[in-house]
Amino acid sequence: MLRGVWSVDLLHHQLTRVHTMTNSNQKGKRGEREAARALKASLGCAARRGQQFCGGGDSPDVVTDIAGMHIEVKRTERFSLYDAMAQAKADAGSQQVPVVMHRKNNQDWVAVVMVTDLPRLADILADILADRKDEV
């Protein structure tokens, strides 16, 4: 009898786990779309969710028309900053500035960059913003 109860409990646990992972994946996709919209609004750049187009493990979560920047998106309540930055750095390689965008429920988006990458990112953004200003 105990064996049957254990099996039902185990099955319920596994189904709940699969459902939670599906919800988490959906939340991640929504977060990537939200982050793309936030970048469009703040920088005036073209931005879209990246994984659906490239599919590779090192492809950015958000693809923009800003060259030299790799964006990793984390839409989660529990944010592990250094793990997220390690992932962004590994995916970005040496040619791109790794940027981690994070938002938890009922909060605004934030962008995290290594201090050592700030000069490179400032140059990239200054060029982009100057180009946008010239277009207006």
Q: Is the pTM of this model over 0.85?
A: no
Any alpha helices (H) in 44-96, and if so which ranges?
Answer: 51-54, 81-92
Q: Mean of the per-residue pLDDT values for the chain?
A: 83
Q: What is the share, in percent, of the chain residues with pLDDT greater than 70?
A: 77
Strands 97-103 vs 69-75: parallel, antiparallel or unpaired = parallel
Confidence band, pLDDT 50/70/90 cuts, at residue 28: confident
Q: Write the single-letter amino acid at 71.
A: I
Residue 111, strand partner residues: 101
- Rounded to an integer, the average pLDDT of 100-127 is 95
Q: Tell me the pLDDT tens digit for each residue of 54-110.
A: 455 567 899 888 899 999 999 999 999 999 999 999 999 999 999 999 999 999 999
Domains in the chain with CATH codes: 32-135 (3.40.1350)
